[in-house]
Amino acid sequence: MSQHQELIQLQAQAENELADARDEKQLEAWRIKWLGRKGLVPAAVKQIGSLPKEERAAYGQAVNQLKQAVQAAFEARQQQLKEAAMAAELRSEGFDPTLPGRRPQIGRLHPSSATLREIAHIFAHMGFEVYTARDVETDEYNFQLLNFPKGHPAREMQDTFHTTTPDVLLRTHTSPGQIRVMRERYPEPIRVILPGKCYRYEQVTARSEMMFHQVEGLVVGKNITFADLKGTLQAFVDQLFGEGRQLRFRASHFPFTEPSAEVDVDCILCGGKGCRVCKYTGWLEILGCGMVHPNVLRNGGYDPEEWSGYAFGMGPERIAMLLHGVDDIRYFFSNDVRFLEQF
């Protein structure tokens, strides 16, 4: 067979195989085989060197034609495949946009954590640092240093889980942290919030839990007044529940503050008109607060003649219940995913 015929055959074979390349991958394999550095076409071109001089010109012309033809066929095929691919991509039969998408798994914070975080953020803007204190406490820190002597009737309001170690208990409120932070920071002024778990020896019902969170706030300084306390809490409530909330400060009693107050916000559900959640009063109790009792300041190391302070406490679960319309506190720690996944 003449070299010329071989070239014709080669071209025919290349074109045949090219026609079989049905996607980009096959096309690339074809390209490597035929047009690659070690491909058949360059190999045919290289043969030119092994020919006698007189045949070289004719062969060169033929092989060049071959090379151009194969290259052109390749490019045409490439174009064809691209167009086919685009056409395929643009076909829409069977496409149903209502089919569910591929969703990444999403996680969430527990609603108590999320509410705590929101509270901490708002207070952070007012210069309050987060201070964490321990859960298992002594009677001294949980009660005595907070002005609840043994036998004090106010202790009845905080039914306590005791441990088998005498005078060791589960804190009933975050307030023992007040003493801890004061003793650590004296003589600096203080502006902290103390979040954490608290425990009460109470039957678990829709309204009461044996474990819950509290966020305590404590400010100690040289010129801290009840008016400052009111201003701080109004600013907080405006940010948490939205601008323009009405607050109502009611006189109350906590042994570790004097004066003491309970704070109501106008019902966020009915706007004060009266509903089941606010028991038709138009008000929701959200906070307890007061000026730090002189004995407590003294127990923390601060002279009440020179220093004054205020403290407040609130329950993130209570607030989350109001914000999200949750009517049963037991949801929070039963961790039913059907509950958790709604936040």
Partner 1 sequence: MRVPLSWLKEYVDITLPVDELEERLTLAGLEVANVEYVGVEPPASVRFKKQIKPGDVVTGNGHIVWDKEKIFVGQVVSVEKHPDADRLTLVTINYGTEEPLTVVTGAPNLKPGDGGQKVAFATAGAMLIDAYADAFKVRKLKPGKIRGILSQGMVCSERELGLSDEHEGIIILPDDAPVGAPLADYLGDVVFDIDITPNMIRIASIIGVAREVAAITEAPLHIDMPTWQTSPPPAGDYADVEIIDDDLCHRYTASIVRDVAVGPSPFWTQHRLKLIGQRPISNLVDVTNYVMFEWGQPLHAFDYDKLLARAKAIGKDKVKIIVRRADEGEKFTTLDGVERTLDADVLMICDEAGPIAIGGVMGGLETEVSDETRNVLLESAAFEFINVRQTAKKLKLPSEAAYRFSRGVPPRLNPIGNVRGAQLMADLGGGDIAQGMIDDYPRPQPVIEVPVTERDVQRWLGIDLSQDEIIDILQRLEFDIRVEDDVIWATAPWYRLDVSITADVLEEIARIYGYDAIPETLLADELPPQRRNWAWELEERLRDILAAAGLQETINYSMTAIENYRKTFPDNPEDAPGPEMFVTLANPLSQERSVMRRCLGVSALENLQRNLRYTDRMAVFEIGLGYRPELGDGVLPKEIRLLAIALTGPREPGNWLHGDDSPMDFFDAKGVLEALFERLGASDDVEYRAESAHIFGPKAAGVYLNGQKIGNVGEVHPKVRAAFDLGDRPVALAGLQIAPLIPYIQTKKHLHPISNFPAVKEDIALVVDEAIPAGKVAALIRQTAGANLKDIQLFDVYRGDPIPPGKKSLAFSLTFQSPTKTLTDKDTARLRRKIVGRLSREIGAELREA
Which residues contact Zn ion (rule: CB under 5 A)?
Answer: 267, 269-270, 275, 278
How far is it, in rounded angstroms, from Cα 237 to Cα 247? 8
Is the Cβ of residue 22 or residue 207 nearer to Zn ion in the bound state? 207
| Residue written as token pair 């829709």 | 206
Q: Which does 4 bind (CB under 5 to 8 A by kind): Zn ion, partner 1, none?
A: none
80 binds, among Zn ion, partner 1, none (CB under 5 to 8 A by kind): none
Omega of the bond leading into 52 within 30 degrees of 0 (cis):
no
Q: In whole angstroms, how close is the CB of 263 to Zn ion at the nearest point?
A: 16
Task: Please identify, among the stretches 2-10, 42-50, 83-91, 158-166, the one whose residues bind partner 1 according to the rule CB under 8 A.
Answer: 158-166
Residue 263 to residues 196, 235, 314, Cα–Cα distance (Å) = 21, 13, 10
Contacting residues for 119 by C-beta, under 8 A, at least 6 apart: 193, 195, 215, 236, 240, 314, 316, 319
Q: Residue 183 binds which entry of Zn ion, partner 1, none, with Cβ cut-offs from 5 to 8 Å by kind?
A: none
183 scored as a contact of partner 1 (CB under 8 A): no
Place of tokens 């042994």: 255
Which residues in the 38-77 window bind partner 1 by CB under 8 A? Answer: none
Reading the block at residue 163, the tokens are 């441990």
Report the residue number, 88 or 251, with the smaller CB distance to partner 1.
Answer: 251
Nearer to Zn ion, 259 or 274 (CB): 274
C-alpha–C-alpha distance, residues 179 and 174, integer Å: 10
Q: Compute the least distance from the CB of residue 151 to partner 1, in Å.
A: 3
CA angle 52, 53, 58 (to 5 degrees): 95
Residues 6 or more apart from 128 whose CB is under 8 A from it?
Answer: 120, 191, 192, 193, 217
Question: From the list 185, 299, 313, 321, which residue makes contact with partner 1 (rule: CB under 8 A)?
Answer: 185
As measured in angstroms, the least distance from the Cβ of 166 to partner 1 is 8
Binding partner of residue 269 among partner 1, Zn ion, none, CB under 5 to 8 Å per kind? Zn ion
Task: Considering only residues 204 through 223, tell me which ones interact with partner 1, judged by CB under 8 A.
Answer: 204, 210-211, 219, 221-223
Six-digit token pair at 202? 């109470």
Site string for partner 1, 98-137 (x = CB under 8 A): -xx-x-xxxxxxx-xx---x--------xx-xxxx-xxxx
Only segment of 24-32, 38-46, 280-288, 323-331 that touches partner 1 (CB under 8 A) = 280-288
Beta bridge partners of 218: 192, 311
